Amino acid sequence: MGVWKKVLIGGGIAALIILILGLSLGLTLGRTKIKSTFFSKCEKFKEHDCKKLWDLFEKAHVNKDPCNVPVEAYNPLIAEVPFKLDCNKVMFWSNTKDLVHDLTAKRKDCFVTLEDTLLGSILDGLMWCGKEGKNGTFSNGCPGWSECENNPVRSFWKCASAAFADAACGDVTAMLSGSTTTPFDPTSIFASIEVTRLKAPRVSSMNVVMVLKKNAKSDCTNASLKNLQNQLDPNMCVTEELTTCRVLDSTSLGTSHALQGMEVYLPSPHSLLVADGVRRRCVGGSCCLGLGARVCTGSLPVAAWWGLAPMAQSDPFRR
């Protein structure tokens, strides 16, 4: 065998060894990173056993086919820290992730989303999976949101969303996007899971906030909102026809400035001005922006913010 041939073979073997070591190191670092992230986020919430939560989290997907993790696999994790939500403060969302969390970050005393809760906060934005025949949680080589129905990330958020909706009570709010042609998307978690679990009398009404920007594709008259009305429990305060609401020239959320220029238009003869249509409710001593007027003769209050930041969607999946 020639010298150059030996060199080439030796170089190829060395490259293969380096590749294997690199992949192994990458998997190890991925496992270490997601675990450290889980614990660092968990420890911000007091009075919780983070190791127990991690063990329950891993039990759902470790050593399993990453495309065969059923929704119910995360039931023990959810049951360990059940949602305890204040009535009238629950906020659902669809395709408005960044904006809705900008609002809840500024007014934590007014609204709470799933991502503001313990488990939602810990796992928001993370990718994970197990590998059949292997121990540990991986963050590399995992199926994407749409690659298979029962991937671990998708199954967790379905399970958590169902439990979150089950815990909602009183008046609930949903923030939808006018940047899509179907604000109430039947394939979204909001439509397919959360809305279906909202039942009267535990939930009395839903306020819908439509977020608009210039050249928006939809507004409060979008046909999909009628589908939302039809899907809600008929014993809740809903409408026979849609309302149209708009916030003009507002640049901040969760403040009194968000009230400026707002008008609420309800089906005749319920035309209301700001003072009547947009109310503030006091929660824990602080006043929060009330989104729309609650009209139990039949209306689904729909508000819209106009001229706000674009619908940036940092999370590539979900909702």
Q: How far apart are CA 110 and CA 90, in angstroms?
A: 9
Percentage of the chain beyond pLDDT 70 is: 64
pLDDT in tens, 145-172: 999 999 999 999 999 999 999 999 998 9
Arithmetic mean of pLDDT, 27-36:
69
Using the predicted structure, report yes or no on whether residue 259 has a pLDDT greater than 50: no
pLDDT in tens, 105-146: 887 788 999 999 999 999 999 999 999 999 999 999 999 999
Q: How far apart are CA 277 and CA 290, in angstroms?
A: 9
pLDDT in tens, 191-201: 999 999 999 99
Q: What is the pLDDT of residue 319?
A: 61
Can you name the residues that pair with 263 across neighbouring β-strands?
246
The residue annotated as part of the active site, out of 50, 67, 148, 169, is 169
Arithmetic mean of pLDDT, 89-97:
94
The residue annotated as part of the active site, out of 50, 87, 148, 287, is 87
Q: Are 30 and 139 in contact (CB under 8 A)?
A: yes
Q: Are 87 and 169 in contact (CB under 8 A)?
A: yes
- Can you give the residue ranges of every domain in the chain? 50-306
Q: How far apart are CA 176 and CA 171, in angstroms?
A: 16
Q: Which CATH number fits domain 50-306: 1.20.120.1690, 2.120.10.30, 3.30.1360.30, 1.20.82.10?
A: 1.20.82.10
Using the predicted structure, report yes or no on whether residue 240 has a pLDDT greater than 50: no
Pairwise pLDDT comparison (172 vs 215), residue with the higher score: 172
Q: What is the pLDDT of residue 249?
A: 27
- 284 burial level (CB within 10 Å; 0-12, 13-18, 19+): exposed
Structure tokens at 218: 């939809």
Structure tokens at 3: 């010298």
Q: How far apart are CA 56 and CA 137, in angstroms?
A: 12
- Is 237 an annotated catalytic residue? no
- 171 burial level (CB within 10 Å; 0-12, 13-18, 19+): buried
Q: How far apart are CA 234 and CA 296, in angstroms?
A: 12
Q: Are 203 and 105 in contact (CB under 8 A)?
A: no
- Is 42 an annotated catalytic residue? no
- 187 burial level (CB within 10 Å; 0-12, 13-18, 19+): exposed
Q: Are 175 and 209 in contact (CB under 8 A)?
A: yes
Percentage of the chain beyond pLDDT 90 is: 46
pLDDT in tens, 50-62: 999 999 999 999 9
